[in-house]
Amino acid sequence: MIQLQSAEKLTKAIERAKNANLFVQPTSFFHQYRVTNRDNGNTYFVDFFVESGKRFGGCTCKRCSDKV
């Protein structure tokens, strides 16, 4: 999970995702997306939420799961 501290950082993260050959689809859950890496076929979920007035994002990808 990461804190989304500024609009600029979020914009940069979106640009990195666009350049990474990812396919992003909204799910039926509020602020959740299914992301498929078109290069290797891996699929994971990304969630965005607000807690105590701060914005956060988290996902189920291997890179994030290894940090837990």
For residue range 1-37, what is the model confidence (pLDDT) as tens digits? 788 888 887 788 778 878 888 898 999 999 999 999 9
Domain encompassing residue 48 = 2-65
The strand pairing partners of 28, in sequence order, are none
Q: Count structural domains, the chain.
A: 1
Measured CA to CA, the distance from residue 65 to residue 68 in angstroms comes to 6
Residue with tokens 């859950």: 29
pLDDT at position 65, please?
A: 65
pLDDT at position 43, please?
A: 94
